[in-house]
Amino acid sequence: MRKNRKAAAGVRPKRSMMKKTTRLTSMAYVFREQQGYLNWQACLDIKVECRDGEEYARSVREIIKTITPMNVCGAKKVRIGGAGGGGYVMLDPGQGGIAYSLGVSSHSPWDLEMAERGFKVYQYDGSIDQAPDKHPNIFFHKCFVGAGADSSVPCKSFRQILAENQHLDEKNLILQMDIEGAEWDVFTELTEDELLRFSQIIVELHEVHLHVYKYALLNKIRQTHTPIHISYNNWTRNLAYIPRDHFLYPRTLIEVSYVRTQDHSFAPCSDYFPTPLDRPNVPHRPEIPIGYFDLLSAD
């Protein structure tokens, strides 16, 4: 969930952790020549571990390929939920429909904006007692999804929730979830046919370690949905720096936006990440740089 984190004093990263170039290699922690050194502060409470092994780098590369964003031909991305934590980049959802928000916390501007657009927003969070915003289109449920953290609070499977709301036959649901690792339970549970009921999925991935089953789940999602946006949540405290590829890889907190593949045509993405639509989840801390993805297939 979105929680307040304490700020830390900053120090400038070592020169050896930067590489100047006129063209960023995919996922590279390097920057355009004309930018010079990026004024980026590596916060003291962030652990950056140098991982120089080829096997580790290759494994990370394989995971990154499963979430490499594509451009959607003829469609526009927007940021829903304003600046800061709780806002997400996605395709313009238009007006009206059904949206699910799993993991609400005390601040959920995405939910409110979707409700104001006419979407019926179904919220599920067992850690709070009520919705942070009052709106006739918001329906809050004090309930965990997946593995419950507290046995005194109800916990349901996502399929059970869809059935209770009579949404198993809906064709254009939108799902947004930030549920502290239980997203893996949701993706394990849902079948391909059930995933196809969602026109867009926006998820914060937690503990994206190099486990075989998580890699398999990311590939499972790619069978039905295509990633169109990615950002590193700057709340993260643990990054791996891979010098042979010059990129940073977060151990957790990767936000990915997907669209249903069958609905769109796609082209390689040439955007630099973070994009102008992105905002830091923690405003007083700098964004974590990613770079370009368009050369990833050549790696």
CATH of the domain at 79: 3.40.50
Q: Is residue 186 domain-resident?
A: yes
In whole angstroms, give the CA distance from residue 216 to residue 184.
11
Q: Is residue 5 domain-resident?
A: no
pLDDT of 235 reads: 81
Cα→Cα distances 175→23, 107, 124, 170, 248, Å: 35, 17, 12, 12, 28
Count up the domains in the chain and report the number.
1
Q: Is residue 183 domain-resident?
A: yes
Q: Is residue 212 domain-resident?
A: yes
pLDDT of 43 reads: 42
Q: 193 Cβ partners below 8 Å, 6+ apart?
A: none
pLDDT of 274 reads: 92
DSSP state of 194: H
As a residue count, the chain comes to 299
pLDDT of 40 reads: 40
In whole angstroms, give the CA distance from residue 35 to residue 46.
24
pLDDT of 137 reads: 98
Range of the domain at 157: 46-282+291-298
Instruction: Tell me the two tokens of residue 225.
Output: 């949905």
Q: Is residue 215 domain-resident?
A: yes
Q: Is residue 33 domain-resident?
A: no
Q: 36 Cβ partners below 8 Å, 6+ apart?
A: 20
pLDDT of 169 reads: 93
pLDDT of 47 reads: 64
CA atoms within 13 A on the CB side of 39: 0
Which of helix, strand or coil describes residue 184? helix
Q: Is residue 222 domain-resident?
A: yes
pLDDT of 54 reads: 74
Q: What is the mean pLDDT of each run of 10 residues along the chain (299 residues)?
A: 35 34 32 33 54 74 89 96 88 97 92 98 94 96 76 85 95 94 91 96 86 86 97 80 71 90 95 92 81 58
Q: Is residue 39 domain-resident?
A: no
